[in-house]
A and B are shown apart, each in its own frame.
Chain A
Amino acid sequence: MSTIEHRHEPHADGRLPSLRMLVRLMANQPVRYPVSLVLWTGIWSSGLVVAVIVERFFDGIEAGGPAGWTVTVAVGGLLLWIVVRVASILFGMRWHARVLFRAGAAMQRNMLRWIFGLPGARPVREAPGEVVSRFRDDVDHTLEAMDLSVDFSGAIVSATVAFVLLVAVDPVLAGVAFAPMVVVLVVVWVLSARIRAYRECARAATEAVTGFLGESFSAAQSIKVAGAEDAVLARFDVLNERRRAMMVRDRTLTAATDTMGESTGTIGTGLVLVLAAGTIGATGGLSVGEFALFATLMGQTSFAAFFIGTFLARIRQAGVSFERMVDLMDGGQWQDLTRHNVLESPLSAATRTRPAPGHADAPLVSVRGLSHVHPDGEGGVRDVDLDVNEGQLVVVTGRIGSGKSTLLQTLLGLLPADRGRLEWRGVEVTDPGAFMVPPIAAYTPQVPRLFSMALRDNLEMGESYGDRALWTAIEAATLRADLDTMPAGLETLVGPRGMRLSGGQVQRSAAARMLVRRPDLLVFDDLSSALDVETEALLWEQLFDGSEPATALVVSHRRPALSRADLVVVLDHGVVVDRGTAQELRDRSEAFRDLWG
């Protein structure tokens, strides 16, 4: 039996360096990001100018000087300020949006590349719904931290300048005014572990909900036929309820840290008044203008406290998301997630191993001692020796769970081999996953998948073979009759996962996809399971009875395959128990006669 639980390897070194990862994302855009940083630091700090204008205004009217002049200067200053402000907001926002989008897109592309780089038959532990959640939500969470980093810088600069301005008025009062902000920052710092834990729980609960939804929608037909809607929904309710509890907790704590920053300004202003209220207007005391400067600046810096607090909290939360994304990249390091790439250019193509010339008399493919053990220690294949010579049809057969599919997948590098040697024309292949692809080998899995694009694109998958080659492959895959019923022909859209086609049509399309690549070796797994007798017979005829018979390694237990085979290999519990022609095996192997029926 096969995998029950996927191995889960937590990161040995525990927590990821989330701050370093964030800095790496910024450094990937060495011009764009600093421009954003300077722009937004300026935008946030420019708020202080308004506070100074307010101070000058009050000082002017309190002194009872020429009111007209005071007002003119103040109003002129404000108008100039707003023009610069609006222009920088509009420009800064568009600039910043691009910076963030590029950072997110780079992480998403890195993750997808990593997933594609894993053994194809065992990509990720997570269900597609969960994978989507990591691409969407976790990328968003890390971008939020990156977004706030420029605001954070603005907050630090403006708070520092504000503090200097206030110290110039009265150092003691300045200290008192800023004390609440410092307290808040300490509190947020102390709470940070909890913030992170809450966020982690909330994310996990959300993922459970989306994962379950994805599986339920995938299984819609089975659920309908079983009339199991209510039971499935009852389970959904349980998951929803748990997620609510986690989300409310997380959101409330976030709101608490947010408002904490916001209240610091008022508390600071109140404290200044407690000390200095008696001195307002008195000689040597605060002027009304100076008090207004305090109050307005405290209002401004309460934004600063808000951003500082939020940014620190978001870094923790981004840490959770970084971890979940790196976790998705099975075996990957954080550097693999944050590696730089430019949205406009394609990612560097995987390096292809070119086939060495090889020896003419060596078998096309030869494996010795090939083994793959499933992670749970059961099933898999052990010590398989197998040769496929040019022009041969080799059929692997055996009972259910005997390791037939595993053998093909391991040979193609779609599963990692634990042991064994693979040779192509007598030359050792070290990375079968990269080597055993078209034009060397092409493969059709037991349950092939198509993608939501035109049938032509599904067959070509990025190559251009031309109509002639396509139609030849279609003919050979006995797909011609199906295409005749599709008015749009090759441009027919097959729907998500090819669901608009019948099971047999998907299989024949996948066969055509394999054949059009004209590989040296065809590998397919139970190709005919969704085909009827006549179609199947036709398919075998097309493939192997022509003047140039294909070289193929197939899993099948069907007679048209077995009777044509140059070599039949019988697997049992992952081990080759017999091999020979169908005729020989029928005569001597009881296991084979069992299968033959």
Chain B
Amino acid sequence: MIPVRAYLALLTTYLRRHRGRMVLLGLLVAADLAVQLAIPQVLRSVIDGALDGQPVDRLGLLAGIVVAAAIAHQVLAVAATWIAEQVGWRATNDLRADLTRHVLHLDLGFHKQHPPGHLIERVDGDVTALSNFFSAMVVKVVGNGMLIAGIMVLLLRESLLVGGVMTLLLLVGLLVLGRLHVVVVPWWRAHRAIAAETYGQLGEQVDGTEDIAANGARDFMQERFADLLRRWMPLEVRGWTGWALMWSTSEILRIAMLVATFVLGARLLGPTGLTIGTVYLVVHYVEMIGHPLHQIREEMQDLQKAGAAIDRVRGLLERPSALPAAGSTVLPAGPLSVAFTDVHFAYDDADGGDVDRVDADGTRPDRDDPHGPTPVLHDVSVSVAAGRVLGVLGRTGSGKSTLARLATRLYAPDRGDVAIGGMSIGDVANLRERVAMVTQDVQLFRATVRDNLTFFDRGIDDDRLHEAIRLLGLDDWLAGLPHGLDTHLGGQDTGVSAGEAQLLAFTRVFLRDPGLVVLDEASSRLDPATESWLERAIDGLLADRTGIIIAHRLHTLHRADDVAVMEAGRVVEFGDRVALAADPDSRYARLLAAGMEEVLT
């Protein structure tokens, strides 16, 4: 019914840390329960006592107890909620952190398939459903469930017949509710899936307003969004219908119990049977069942959502990275050699285990890749000795960027081996410290300049930052910022031009001490003047380091010791740059000639 087992399986480790709080929570819920169950008993004593002509003082005292108990219930319920929320949020925050860590460690192929908006829905939307699950589960479902059970026990104590009939009715009611639940969960799942799709699309549109506006596609995109909403509405109505069905069931149950009370009460009333006060007690308890059932039912809605959310969170957590875990060998300081041996690689877009599949319901056909994996690199063998610089040339789509992603282990080769410093790249423990890469897409955070440069690493002091900034000649830029390193950047490249972002990315690399630097189209967005300014910085960066430079323009390769020319996923030419330039039959020399021609026209 309620996915308690799945929930516990997912969150036990996180909840274990809060044992003390959970014990306290149990005590509060139990005390609240006792207070609620006692109130009708006191009321019965008042009615029967009044009909017996007991003294007014005693009746007044009992009535005062009712008022005090109602206030105690209020206080206990709030305290229980507070503790439950604390535990729920602490535990799910830990889960959020673990999920984020997991997602960040997943391979790049995964990130290319799942837009950030969609992942937010997975990591935060679904987990928030779980944080409500805990407080709802303990305080509302378990607390109210025990309240109902307690009422049944007390009714059995009054009369086996009355208690027996009520318990039977309750069990039938719960059975029907359970059946309904099974029917309704898929309805909610479909509802959540279309929500994720709608907001994924929205995030993308909001990010692309410039393209949309400039191509006159505002109306089209608006309609595209509206179409999703139109598909969503019937699913929304179906979800609410599920809720209405459950509510109706518990109303029917309540009336059935009231009917039973009337029939049995009228029959059993009398000196040997029930007092009028006891009949009132039964009515009061029956009316009391309505409220906890209402709360349980209301929470069911959340819990149903949680069922789907748990599936998706587990799916995401269990999704393996296409990259095997890092090894344990530590790379030494100093420049590192790189060697590709018979490397074969294809992007595998249509891989299984997609977290979306869980909530797919056939509503997301666009997640499937229409074409199978296409090989991108074939039998690539190329090596760079430690301290040398390799320039890679080739048309777009020839596999240059893939080569860079394999050298930084963003992907692992399907066949063959990539070795760094003589060790297979998969065996290296400290690859991220020793290998750096700058690509043309620089992502900035809405955070301070400092945090953007250090990636929030507080261990990097300002002196080192200032030195790196000075080395790159960014000190003028920094001096122009209103709060220096503490200036907040707009995020999403707002406020920073593409070229400045590129310079910031270089600073990020400068802050580390890599033995291998991969520059993938790094300077393509810089104008020649800025580029030549940056050239000096790159010279400093590559000094005593190994470099792989992937460039579209010939003159950015002047510092390369070796040159590799790529075509359709193969290295078609490789050799010493000067020697190749001197050989008029080499492709490199022909490209140089073409470049010269370009200058001449």
Interchain CB contact under 8 A, B457 and A94:
no
Interchain CB contact under 8 A, B225 and A112:
yes
B197-219: CB near A (< 8 Å → 1, else 0) gives 00111111111111111111111
Chain A CB within 10 A, most for which of B59, B214, B369, B435: B214
State in angstroms the CA–CA spacing of A537 and B553 once bound together. 12
Chain A residues within an 8 Å CB radius of B480: 1, 378
Contact A61:B240 (CB < 8 A) given known A213-B123, A233-B101, A451-B205: no
Cβ-based interface call for A446 (8 A) = yes
Contact A270:B240 (CB < 8 A) given known A74-B262, A259-B78: no
Interchain CB contact under 8 A, B443 and A215:
yes
Interchain CB contact under 8 A, A213 and B236:
no
B431 nearest in chain A by CB position: A227
Cβ-based interface call for A234 (8 A) = yes
Interchain CB contact under 8 A, A244 and B492:
no
Chain A residues within an 8 Å CB radius of B454: 231
A342 to chain B, nearest CB (A): 10
Q: Which of B50, B230, B370, B477 contacts A1 (CB 8 A)?
A: B477
Interchain CB contact under 8 A, B112 and A495:
yes
Interchain CB contact under 8 A, A560 and B215:
no
State in angstroms the CA–CA spacing of A274 and B58 once bound together. 10
A328 to chain B, nearest CB (A): 10
Interchain CB contact under 8 A, B455 and A231:
yes
Interchain CB contact under 8 A, A504 and B397:
yes
State in angstroms the CA–CA spacing of A90 and B62 once bound together. 42
Chain B residues within an 8 Å CB radius of A216: 100, 104, 445
Q: Which of B111, B208, B233 contacts A451 (CB 8 A)?
A: B208
B512 nearest in chain A by CB position: A226
A85 nearest in chain B by CB position: B251
Interchain CB contact under 8 A, B258 and A50:
yes
Report the interface size for chain A: residues with CB under 8 A from the other chain: 194
Cβ-based interface call for A115 (8 A) = yes
Cβ-based interface call for A350 (8 A) = yes
State in angstroms the CA–CA spacing of A282 and B220 once bound together. 77
Cβ-based interface call for B269 (8 A) = yes
Chain A residues within an 8 Å CB radius of B229: 105, 108-109, 343
A244 to chain B, nearest CB (A): 4
Cβ-based interface call for B498 (8 A) = yes
State in angstroms the CA–CA spacing of A105 and B499 once bound together. 40
Chain A residues within an 8 Å CB radius of B458: 231, 234
Cβ-based interface call for B272 (8 A) = no
State in angstroms the CA–CA spacing of A401 and B497 once bound together. 7
9-residue interface stretch from B149-157, B276-284, B464-472: B276-284
Cβ-based interface call for B436 (8 A) = yes
B564 to chain A, nearest CB (A): 14
State in angstroms the CA–CA spacing of A523 and B213 once bound together. 13
A10-44: CB near B (< 8 Å → 1, else 0) gives 00000000000000000000000000000000000
State in angstroms the CA–CA spacing of A447 and B39 once bound together. 69
A216 to chain B, nearest CB (A): 7
Chain B residues within an 8 Å CB radius of A537: 594, 598
Interchain CB contact under 8 A, B455 and A244:
no
B397 nearest in chain A by CB position: A502
Interchain CB contact under 8 A, A530 and B208:
no
Cβ-based interface call for A97 (8 A) = yes
Chain B residues within an 8 Å CB radius of A236: 96-97, 100
State in angstroms the CA–CA spacing of A221 and B440 once bound together. 12
Cβ-based interface call for B63 (8 A) = yes
Interchain CB contact under 8 A, A81 and B124:
no
Chain A residues within an 8 Å CB radius of B394: 532
Cβ-based interface call for B508 (8 A) = yes
Chain B residues within an 8 Å CB radius of A50: 258
Q: Which of A486, A492, A595 contacts B527 (CB 8 A)?
A: A595
B230-271: CB near A (< 8 Å → 1, else 0) gives 101100110111011101100110010011001101110100
Q: Which of B74, B527, B552 contacts A398 (CB 8 A)?
A: B527
B52 nearest in chain A by CB position: A281
State in angstroms the CA–CA spacing of A443 and B9 once bound together. 53
Interchain CB contact under 8 A, A502 and B247:
no
State in angstroms the CA–CA spacing of A67 and B223 once bound together. 66
Contact A438:B455 (CB < 8 A) given known A94-B240, A248-B86, A510-B211: no
State in angstroms the CA–CA spacing of A414 and B216 once bound together. 12
Interchain CB contact under 8 A, A240 and B97:
yes
State in angstroms the CA–CA spacing of A24 and B569 once bound together. 61
B466-498: CB near A (< 8 Å → 1, else 0) gives 000000000001001110000111111111111
Chain A residues within an 8 Å CB radius of B211: 120, 445, 448-450, 510
Interchain CB contact under 8 A, B446 and A401:
no
Cβ-based interface call for A5 (8 A) = yes
State in angstroms the CA–CA spacing of A118 and B213 once bound together. 9
B202 to chain A, nearest CB (A): 6
Cβ-based interface call for A327 (8 A) = no
Cβ-based interface call for B314 (8 A) = no
Interchain CB contact under 8 A, A61 and B266:
yes
Cβ-based interface call for A497 (8 A) = yes
Interchain CB contact under 8 A, B204 and A497:
yes
Cβ-based interface call for B66 (8 A) = yes
Interchain CB contact under 8 A, B221 and A116:
yes
Cβ-based interface call for B601 (8 A) = yes
Cβ-based interface call for B318 (8 A) = no
Chain B residues within an 8 Å CB radius of A523: 214
Chain A residues within an 8 Å CB radius of B89: 243-244, 247-248
9-residue interface stretch from A129-137, A192-200, A331-339, A384-392: A129-137
Cβ-based interface call for A482 (8 A) = yes
Cβ-based interface call for A288 (8 A) = yes
Chain B residues within an 8 Å CB radius of A450: 208, 211
B59-78: CB near A (< 8 Å → 1, else 0) gives 11011101101110110011
Cβ-based interface call for A577 (8 A) = no
Chain B residues within an 8 Å CB radius of A221: 108, 111, 410, 439, 441, 443
A263-303: CB near B (< 8 Å → 1, else 0) gives 10011011101100111111000001001100110010000
Interchain CB contact under 8 A, A399 and B495:
no
A504-528: CB near B (< 8 Å → 1, else 0) gives 1100001001100100000100100
Chain A residues within an 8 Å CB radius of B239: 97
Interchain CB contact under 8 A, B396 and A499:
no
Q: Which of A243, A343, A485 contacts B397 (CB 8 A)?
A: A485
A97 nearest in chain B by CB position: B240
Q: Which of B46, B56, B135, B251 contacts A86 (CB 8 A)?
A: B251
Contact A3:B490 (CB < 8 A) given known A79-B255, A277-B59, A462-B223: yes
Interchain CB contact under 8 A, B93 and A240:
yes
9-residue interface stretch from B12-20, B327-335, B518-526: B518-526
Chain B residues within an 8 Å CB radius of A227: 431-433
Cβ-based interface call for B337 (8 A) = no
Chain A residues within an 8 Å CB radius of B369: 493, 500
Contact A529:B440 (CB < 8 A) given known A491-B370, A597-B528: yes
B223 to chain A, nearest CB (A): 6
Cβ-based interface call for B538 (8 A) = no
Q: Which of B49, B241, B498 contacts A94 (CB 8 A)?
A: B241
State in angstroms the CA–CA spacing of A451 and B266 once bound together. 71
Interchain CB contact under 8 A, B74 and A493:
no
Q: Which of B73, B521, B529 contacts A263 (CB 8 A)?
A: B73
| Beta-carbon contacts under 8 Å, B531-587 to A | 532, 552-555
Interchain CB contact under 8 A, A118 and B209:
yes
9-residue interface stretch from A249-257, A355-363, A423-431, A467-475: A249-257
State in angstroms the CA–CA spacing of A433 and B211 once bound together. 13
Interchain CB contact under 8 A, A231 and B209:
no
Interchain CB contact under 8 A, B436 and A90:
no
- 26 A-B Cβ contacts within 8 A? A78-B258, A85-B248, A93-B247, A97-B237, A101-B236, A124-B206, A129-B116, A211-B446, A217-B120, A221-B439, A222-B442, A236-B97, A237-B93, A243-B89, A247-B85, A251-B135, A255-B78, A344-B230, A346-B222, A376-B482, A443-B214, A497-B208, A502-B397, A505-B397, A533-B594, A595-B527
Closest 7 CB pairs of A and B: A227-B432, A462-B220, A120-B213, A504-B396, A219-B443, A228-B455, A270-B66
